[in-house]
Amino acid sequence: MKVLVTGVAGFIGMHCARRLLERGDEVVGIDNLSPYYSVQLKQDRLAQLKHRAFRFSQVDIAEESALEDIFRKEKPEAVLHLAAQAGVRYSLLNPQACMQANVTGFANLLESCRRHPPRHLVFASSSSVYGNDPKLPWSESHSVDNPVSLYAATKRSNELMARVYSRVHGLPATGLRYFTVYGPWGRPDMSPMLFAGAILQGKPLPVFNHGDMQRDFTYIDDIVEGTLRVLDRPVPYAIFNIGNHQAVPLLDYIAALERALGRKAELEMQPMQPGDVKATCADTERLRAAVGFAPSTPLDAGLARFAAWFRQYTKAWTI
């Protein structure tokens, strides 16, 4: 089928688009190539998608007419919406950019889907919608009314907006609450690349909340598998967690990364950052029941693959 992938030059977007192409789908990819982080990295990801069935356009979803032109021209059969202004902390520093991309952009996408209905819209939500809920693991039935960052609030708003379009306009829509995704071609503002860079360059590694944190680290291949299985099963409306169902202590994660890189880290303990949460862990029973799959890649295995890619991509840093 023909699939529109927004944010195709992003971490999850590139991996999903590549898998779609490998299985024989046609992919129309759009991305605004925002300078929020390295545009060169985004272009390098796009270079991985050279394929006769792939077309790319530089489009900002916040520009309604440009997005509508893509829908009118391509008439995608499915939409995988991964474009967003990422960054929990960044949303507190630059709220307008977050609102423009994540709320206005998503509203534009829903309107284009209403006018040119796909068989299924799958969109990225986030584990951040759970806020600081102390009851782990987090289930889709838990309350999500207490976000601790603007980014989380925009992602929760996406879920509610999509529910309205599903009920009022009959748009099949599914939101995916991703949990701390890592792997090759990851985002440079997230801990795997930040930590790996610091370790290989012998720089201090900032450890927030003095290391008293836990994260449900989810390997990118598992994210792609779960996402595409959901994409292939349209429903009127649903929300699923996609996580590894493991709350890994931050210091254990750093130790695993040290093993993968063969280097020791210099730790610099720091206080908790605004908008951060202490622990995350996904209950994935709803996802498993719906599509027969839930992430399970062990952290050591995933970090070994990440480290091999990172060393190759940043050779100058390992000298």
Q: Which residues are catalytic?
A: 151
Contact 221, 183 (CB under 8 A): yes
Q: How many CB atoms lie within 10 A of CB 145?
A: 8
Backbone angles phi, psi at 267, to 5 degrees: -90, 135
| Count of CB atoms situated within 10 Å of the CB of 292 | 8
SS3 readout for the chain? CEEEEECCCCHHHHHHHHHHHHCCCEEEEEECCCCCCCHHHHHHHHHCCCCCCEEEEECCCCCHHHHHHHHHHHCCCEEEECCCCCCHHHHHHCHHHHHHHHHHHHHHHHHHHHHCCCCEEEEEEEHHHHCCCCCCCECCCCCCCCCCCHHHHHHHHHHHHHHHHHHHHCCCEEEEEECCEECCCCCCCCHHHHHHHHHHHCCEEEEHHHHCCEECCEEHHHHHHHHHHHHCCCCCEEEEEECCCCCEEHHHHHHHHHHHHCCCCEEEECCCCCCCCCECCECCHHHHHHHCCCCCCCHHHHHHHHHHHHHHHCHHHHC
User: Tokens for 78?
Assistant: 């499915």
Rounded distance, CA 279 to CA 128, Å?
A: 10
* CA neighbor of 10 nearest in space, from 233, 215, 190, 242: 190
